[in-house]
Amino acid sequence: MMSIICSTSLAVLITIAFSGYNSIVAAPAPSHESEASALLRSGWWPSSVTGNTTLSHCTWLGVSCDASGSVNRIDLAEYHQIGGNFSNMNFSLLPSLTYLNLSSCQLYYNVLTGEIPLQICTLARLTHLDFSCNFLTGELPPCIQNLTSLQVLDISRNDINGSIPPELGILKRLTHLYLGGNQLGGSIPPEIGNLMSLTGLDLGGNQLGGSIPPKIGEVWNLESLDLSSNNLVGRIPPELGNLVHMIDLDLSHNSLTGPIPWAIGNLTKLNNLYLSYNHLKGPIPYNVVNTIPHITFIGNKDLYQFGKTEAHSRRSSVIYYMMLIPLAAIFISCIVVGSRFLFRRASVQTKSLQLGTTEKNGNFLSIWNYDGRIAYEDIINATEDFDLKYCIGTGGYGSVYRTRLPNGKVVALKKLHRFEAEDPSFDKSFRNEVKHLTEVRHRSIIKLHGFCLHRRCMFLVYEYMENGSLFYALRNDVEAVELDWSKRLDLVQDIAQALSYMHHDCARPIVHRDISSNNILLNSKMQAFVSDFGTARLLDHESSSNFTANIVGTYGYIAPELAYTLGINKKCDVYSFGVVALETMMGEHPGDIVSTLSTSSREDIMLHKILDPRLPFPRENSIARSIVLIVFLALACLSANPKSRPTMKQVSEAFLARKLPLAKPFHEISLAQLRRSWLEGEST
């Protein structure tokens, strides 16, 4: 096995792995002199190292040789004075090299530059090739077709231009092909449809034109397809409905036309469908809406929805309410309706519904008329009777509108479909949402401005959140970079303070029960707000927990003890907060890491290795200390034993305490060390 690892200060990793199971034609072994010449000409070592010609190159910093005197290992991870251009090294002159680590080096402004060396194409045993997140230029060499053992090819987030070589279709063992975030043009070669082992395909963020090849629908094992942010035209091929293993499909930010194929509704495993900012038109198939939990349609003004939808039977009651769609601009869920007419100012207690005043000009946010006439007229006028041009998304239960009210206030309006409004089973959660949001007052909890409950028109009116959900922001490369370390640290602290307020400062403690990145909304300043109180519950002061007949929450954020107990307690929220805090630092859901915490795995994971690679490596001491604190607290919150988890008040107070200097360098801190620190502190 040969591995090449090169990560810059931006935590970029470049890994090349060779499998020992394939044969390769032997070539004449280069001499030791040619190996030394290759090292010297690379320019990676300063003259202070290479100037002494009496020393063998095997004694150079980070260089190791085997018994025959041939270079077999280069490890320059700790030598920050190394510089140069990656492509200056002639790897063909180093046949015995089995390990190359250039992490944290300074290869030309701390990133790799130049074109992809053609010598790479001679490495027939290559199984993993990762050049992501650098400044590589030039075209993708067609000779990559020679790497027939290749399983992973990741050249994303560079400046690669030209077209996608159709020769890639020869690499039948490829499971992951990531070419997103480059300058690739031309069309998508149909030959990609020959990659039958492919599970992940990312071509997003390029300049690709033409139509989507229907042949992609033959890649049966595909689970993730990203073609977003290109110049694709034509219709969405119905053949994509054959990809029954698909989980994530992103076709947003193109110029696609025509209707949404009904066949997309066949993708019963699809969790996320992004179609925003195209030129799609026609009806939204009801089977698509019912089947897929998360859909965005923003920017397709000619799309509309009709017909009755029914809840898809495969969605369990645990996450039933999540069929409400996160719609880029705002995520509002658990809206439940009934048969009574309610239309009131949100700050008024629900028991005061019979009290009402009227104001001729219908100032929407300060006065709500008891009978709803003036406020209702304001809504109708502001949305032009719910014209589609104000709609920023639609889902199985309703549509979300962005509108400006007569007083100039911009709000988000969630309007339910009429057939859902006729279902009385939603009444309890709707009232629950209104009840809690009218009683809580915290700067990091979403504001409910008002609501209307009537069989003919039902909606909730919320504070408008310009940047949508944290889930969306972390999965959008542009917004993720805008969400820098300082903003991420602040928003985690804001979430902690909001939960601490709910658990410890309300007249009766409130347990949210569905803390997830989907239910954390971001305003224009990327500040966090806790939303979605449809499943929240009040706790009795006399008992540590209440009990419920159902498990609710979002898969991946639910505390493990809920598998064997139906008790509602604060520690369930604490666990969910731990997942969200780690997700914010990592830029993705920490599924594997969370699972290792509950096993006896001895694998130790370094903290800096899990951080979001889209952000620069944290150099400032204050930022590094805060990241360590957040991960430390997150791991404590994820303790399998609820009694071992801290309270949200303890977590919130920890952010306010003075941060002590780190006991060891940031890059030497591991997750196991942080976890042991908490467990040892608990035992003392």
The CA distance from 454 to 342, in Å, is 7
The CA distance from 257 to 407, in Å, is 37
Strands (E), 275-364: 279-284, 294-296, 302-305, 342-345
Helix axes 485-504, 570-586, angle to 10 degrees: 180
Question: What Rg do the C-alpha atoms of the chain give, in angstroms?
Answer: 28
Which stretches within 261-372 are classed as H helix? 286-291
CA dist 294 to 187, 257, 483, 494, Å? 28, 21, 22, 26
Among 99, 108, 85, residue whose Cα is nearest residue 15: 99
In contact, 192 and 215? CB cutoff 8 Å: yes
Q: How many CB atoms lie within 10 A of CB 526?
A: 19
Helix axes 621-637, 671-683, angle to 10 degrees: 60
Among 396, 352, 368, 402, residue whose Cα is nearest residue 382: 402
Instruction: Give buried/exposed letters for 120-147 (b at 16+ CB in 10 A, else e).
Output: bbbbbbbbbbbbbbbebeeebbeebbbb
Tokens matching residue 541 = 């002061």
In contact, 267 and 291? CB cutoff 8 Å: yes
Tokens matching residue 476 = 């959008």
Strands (E), 294-378: 294-296, 302-305, 342-345
The CA distance from 583 to 594, in Å, is 10
| SS3 label, residue 250 | strand
What residues act catalytically?
A: 514
* CA 574 to chain CA mean position, Å: 21
The CA distance from 247 to 272, in Å, is 7
**What are the phi and psi torsion angles at 393 (to 5°)?**
165, 160
